[in-house]
A and B are shown apart, each in its own frame.
Chain A
Amino acid sequence: MRLRAISLVVGALVACGAASASGPPNAADLEAELVCPVCETTLDQSTAPVAQRMKTFIRVRIAAGDTEQEIKDALVDEFGKGVLATPPRSGFGLLAWLLPLAAVLAGAIAVGLLIRSWSRRRAPPEDELPLDPQLDRLVDEELARFDT
């Protein structure tokens, strides 16, 4: 039952992704992903004249049938890579995506090692470990001899 629910959710997400990828780009989405070169906030937050001009440019290019990537590439050609709110997933920009993942992984490993280290420290000392059954029996026999 749970598996079916998960597969339904995953299927819906994939369908949404496919639908958004195939449709025309959304101006509001693009404005949230691009930065105004003057005030350095995203376009949707900016009222600077150049930001207004960029918003117009985006709408004109959408109407002309450009894809999201084509519009971003055109703006990078004019204003440089700094116009992208998120770094590119290639070249040096890839580091910005990989470093946080590497940091999380390193943190998880460090936490794992710490837990392992603490659990070892809390293990009973060797002299408290149970005796070997044969040795235990021999000790009992010897002690019994003293009792008699």
Chain B
Amino acid sequence: MAHRAILVAQGVAVGLVVLLFILLAWTLLTEEGGDLAAAAARGDRPQAPDFTLERLDEEGELRLSSLRGKVVVLNVWASWCIPCKEEAPFLEQVWQQNRDRDVVVVGLDAKDFRSDARRFMRRFGLTFPIVYDGPADAIGGYGVTGFPETFVIDRDGNVVKAFAGAVNTKEDRARLRAAIEQALSS
């Protein structure tokens, strides 16, 4: 009887270890982050992970895939991020200059307080759609490692170019405009 109980206990222990290995393997296999920017740099045009998030600029939610057919400039930012403050006026300019050309700038505020984000939007006069991802769940698939990061997404929802860090230099801004033109023409 005791021998059988020991065998059962051993079986349960081995089963638990196998289960943990399966969980580990599943986590490693399904983790998408990190490679998206590298894939875009190679010219692979990976699919931009879809998300549905609460809007901060108005009531309701925004689903990224609802913007298919338009070029999306997705900018990941937070109000406490200093380079984001330097970059914000340029993004508003990109939005104003391209909004009639099927280009949408979407701000994605993450790891932030909603109230701080709204204050940031008012301070910099941001008028483009802005969504909120406090827990940063949606940006995991983008492999965002720091703020800000910007992704230019074509009409089919594929990432044409990714910019890690602020798009603040003259060269970076020219590269962003070129990526928008590339996405529009594809």
Interface stretch, picked from B93-101, B108-116, B153-161, B163-171, is: B108-116
Inter-chain contacts of A87 with B (CB < 8 A) = none
Which residue in B3, B9, B116, B135 is a CB contact (below 8 Å) of A82? Answer: B135
Docked-complex contact B135 and A50, CB < 8 angstroms = no
With CB as the reference atom, state the residue of chain B lying closest to A114.
Answer: B6
Which residue in B2, B3, B5, B113 is a CB contact (below 8 Å) of A78? Answer: B113
Docked-complex contact B2 and A79, CB < 8 angstroms = no
A-B contact pairs, 7 of them (CB 8 A): A50-B111, A53-B80, A77-B134, A79-B135, A80-B134, A109-B9, A113-B5
Task: Indicate the size class of the contact surface on chain A.
Answer: 20 to 34
Docked-complex contact A116 and B80, CB < 8 angstroms = no
- Which residues 1-58 of B sit at the A interface, judged by CB distance below 8 A? 2-3, 5-6, 9, 12
- Which residues 130-153 of B sit at the A interface, judged by CB distance below 8 A? 134-137
Closest CB in chain A relative to B49 CB, distance in Å? 17
Inter-chain contacts of A81 with B (CB < 8 A) = 135
Inter-chain contacts of B81 with A (CB < 8 A) = 49
Which residue in A50, A80, A106, A120 is a CB contact (below 8 Å) of B78? Answer: A50
In the complex the two chains form, what is the Cα distance from A50 to B80 in whole Å? Answer: 6
In the complex the two chains form, what is the Cα distance from A50 to B109 in whole Å? Answer: 13
Docked-complex contact A78 and B6, CB < 8 angstroms = no
- Which residues 68-104 of A sit at the B interface, judged by CB distance below 8 A? 77-83
In the complex the two chains form, what is the Cα distance from A62 to B78 in whole Å? Answer: 25
Contact with A along B80-100 (1 / 0, CB 8 A): 110000000000000000000
Contact with B along A43-56 (1 / 0, CB 8 A): 00000011001000
- A80-B9 contact, Cβ under 8 Å, with A49-B80, A113-B2: no
With CB as the reference atom, state the residue of chain A lying closest to B146.
Answer: A38
Closest CB in chain A relative to B86 CB, distance in Å? 15
Docked-complex contact A113 and B137, CB < 8 angstroms = no
In the complex the two chains form, what is the Cα distance from A37 to B113 in whole Å? Answer: 11
Docked-complex contact A117 and B6, CB < 8 angstroms = yes
In the complex the two chains form, what is the Cα distance from A116 to B5 in whole Å? Answer: 11
3 tightest A-B CB contacts, nearest first: A80-B135, A49-B80, A37-B111
Inter-chain contacts of B6 with A (CB < 8 A) = 110, 113-114, 117
